[in-house]
Amino acid sequence: AQSVTQPDIHITVSEGASLELRCNYSYGATPYLFWYVQSPGQGLQLLLKYFSGDTLVQGIKGFEAEFKRSQSSFNLRKPSVHWSDAAEYFCAVAPDSWGKLQFGAGTQVVVTP
Amino acid sequence: DTAVSQTPKYLVTQMGNDKSIKCEQNLGHDTMYWYKQDSKKFLKIMFSYNNKELIINETVPNRFSPKSPDKAHLNLHINSLELGDSAVYFCASSQSSDTQYFGPGTRLTVL
């Protein structure tokens, strides 16, 4: 069955430290891959996406993600987090069809001083 | 300028009532979606319209009826509201199967 897994439900990180959020997918072929962020009480904002090409993708707010076909992973990273990065992060995948996004369960990121 | 907007932002109503949520996008996209986010933050697609035609219809009770009067609008009407319908409903739009852009959400509370 097709699935998207975010193994970490909750991550706490110190301000200024690095952050890595994991995402694994199970699809027959390489799907389109996305990371969205949801700040408290807000909608979802696209951080970055991967369709094809360079496997290291740069996004907004200093985030990047790396697609690894062999591991079926699309992990999100940021070298130095800011307090404003505290939010819920969702990995999402879509097969090569009419954009039926399937979301992971989300990872809540808490940033401590 | 707001790209994808939803009204209302909050909706509190009694069980058994009928309510509608409206969505509008000014991005010129041809595809629009409704998603439901439950209390555990899990997001699941409900419907999708492409050029006013229904293309995705997930396993959703038929009390939920989407309507797309034109490419820029996708409304969601819910009949006979139940407690389990309480959730945040997100509208999104895209150009065909390209990146989806989300609205701010409508928090529905059924009492």
Chain A hits for B36, Cβ within 8 Å = none
How much is the average pLDDT of B49-61?
85
Q: Check residue A38 and give its pLDDT.
A: 94
Q: CA of A95: which chain B residue's CA is closest?
A: B97
pLDDT at residue B99 tops 70: yes
Distance separating alpha carbons of residues A93 and A32, to the nearest angstrom: 6
How much is the average pLDDT of B32-46?
92
Closest chain A C-alpha to B11 CA, distance in angstroms: 14
Q: Check residue B51 and give its pLDDT.
A: 85
Closest chain A C-alpha to B102 CA, distance in angstroms: 6
Distance separating alpha carbons of residues A110 and A21, to the nearest angstrom: 12
* A49 and chain B in contact, CB less than 8 A: yes
Indicate the SS3 state at residue A79: coil
Query: Tokens 């899990």 label which residue?
Result: B42
How much is the average pLDDT of B78-105?
92
Q: Check residue B56 and give its pLDDT.
A: 81
CB contact under 8 A, A42 and B105: yes
Each residue's pLDDT tens digit, A59-78: 999 999 999 999 999 999 99
CB contact under 8 A, A98 and B97: yes
Q: Check residue B110 and give its pLDDT.
A: 97
User: What share of residues in chain A are helix, strand, coil (percent, to 5)?
Assistant: 10, 50, 40
Q: What are phi and psi of B91, to 5 degrees?
A: -100, 150
Each residue's pLDDT tens digit, A32-55: 899 999 998 788 999 999 988 889
The secondary structure of residue A61, as a DSSP letter, is G
CB distance A10 to A19 below 8 Å: no
CB distance B29 to B84 below 8 Å: no
Q: CA of B50: which chain A residue's CA is closest?
A: A98
In percent, the amount of chain A with pLDDT more than 90 equals 74
Token pair for B22 = 């409206």
Q: Check residue A96 and give its pLDDT.
A: 62
Task: Return mean pLDDT, chain B.
Answer: 92
B41, B45, B98 member nearest A100 (Cβ): B45
pLDDT at residue A97 tops 70: no
CB contact under 8 A, A45 and B97: no
Token pair for B58 = 């997930």
In percent, the amount of chain B with pLDDT more than 90 equals 74
More confident position, B57 or B42: B42
Distance separating alpha carbons of residues A36 and B102, to the nearest angstrom: 10
**DSSP codes joined into one string, B1-65:** --SEEEE-SEEEE-TT--EEEEEEE-S--SEEEEEEE-TT--EEEEEEEETTEEEEE-S--TTEE
How much is the average pLDDT of B72-79?
95
CB distance B26 to B32 below 8 Å: no
CB contact under 8 A, B100 and A90: no
| Cα–Cα nearest to A23, from A40, A53, A39, A47 | A47
Closest chain B C-alpha to A33 CA, distance in angstroms: 10
Q: Check residue B82 and give its pLDDT.
A: 96
* A98 and chain B in contact, CB less than 8 A: yes
Question: For chains A and B, what is the number of CB pairs under 8 angstroms?
Answer: 59
Q: Which residues contact B51 (CB under 8 A, 6 or more apart)?
A: B30, B31, B71
β partners of residue B73: B24, B70
